[in-house]
Copies of this chain bind each other. A is one copy, B any other.
Amino acid sequence: MSDRIWTAGLTVIGDEILSGRTQDKNVAQLATWLNAQGIRLGEVRVVADRQEAIVEAVDTLRARYDYCFTTGGIGPTHDDITVDAIAAALGVPVVIHPEARAMLEAHYETRGGLTDMRLRMARVPEGASLIANRMSGAPGIHIGNIYVLAGVPHIAAGMLDALTGQLEGGLPLVARTIGCWVAESEIAELLATVERSREGVTIGSYPFFREGRVGANFVVRSTSQEDVDASIADLTAGLEGQGRTVVEGGI
């Protein structure tokens, strides 16, 4: 634990996201997991299954953030080129990881055996270690500050479980939400004033239109519970001073 803020970038690899065929779920999943580790997701890039696009994103994000995650493109098929791209970014060859081979052999022993194409899933950039994956035979990959996860969300979740508590982070962000049936435009000044009054506090405003009425939820975040609580108290006082009802936890 330290006051330093730890950060991560994510590269989502996959034509299926860019084509609109698949709704990404890994951004929200990784962001939530990172929060619990005391690490903030600073940026996401979604790129196509093209080596130069993956290399550009990974190279930028691994230099810019403490941790660099990728999701997608580690299966056995021709469009799974993440490992080759990461190896190219790092300037190392691709090798078969003996432990990954053993895991796949065990997994496929009763499922038709380990074919050449399945063995592709044991390929790693030289020097990498594995991230256990209890959902399927194929492991994730860790090399330097890069963490290579599966694209299928529940498999990525299994890999994140294996990484839980393993990454150094800072103080986790604390968040508290209140909701109010108010147009955000009417209290924009109040929000700005309360946010400015405590360093490190951010207030997000999330308007909605429901049941024929406008409302908004306000999420106050900080690494300090005390500052979050004080900001929520100020916001609540400001809203109630206008005769409005505040709903703790949001609407």
What residues of chain A have their CB less than 8 Å away from a CB belonging to chain B? 12, 15-25, 27-32, 34-35, 40-48, 53, 75-79, 111-112, 115, 117-118, 120-121, 136, 152, 173, 175, 183-186, 188-189, 191-192, 195, 202-209, 219, 221
Contact = CB atoms under 8 A, between A and B. Distances in A.
Nearest to A184: B77
Contacts of A41: 18-20
Given A19-B41, A77-B185, A117-B189, 16 more contacts: A16-B204, A17-B31, A18-B44, A19-B175, A19-B219, A19-B221, A20-B27, A22-B206, A23-B25, A23-B28, A43-B46, A43-B48, A75-B207, A76-B184, A77-B191, A121-B185
Contact of A20 (B32, B120, B207): B32
A-side interface mostly: mixed
Contacts of A189: 117
A109 to B, nearest CB: 14
B44 A45 contact: yes
A195 B15 CA distance: 15
Nearest to A111: B183
Given A76-B188, A186-B117, A43 B53 contact: yes
A79 B204 contact: yes
A43 B35 contact: no
A15 B48 contact: no
Contacts of A24: 24, 27-28
A22 B24 CA distance: 12
A183 B32 CA distance: 31
Contacts of A31: 17-20
Contacts of A32: 20
Given A44-B46, A186-B112, A79 B18 contact: no
A169 B184 CA distance: 37
A156 to B, nearest CB: 14
A48 B205 CA distance: 14
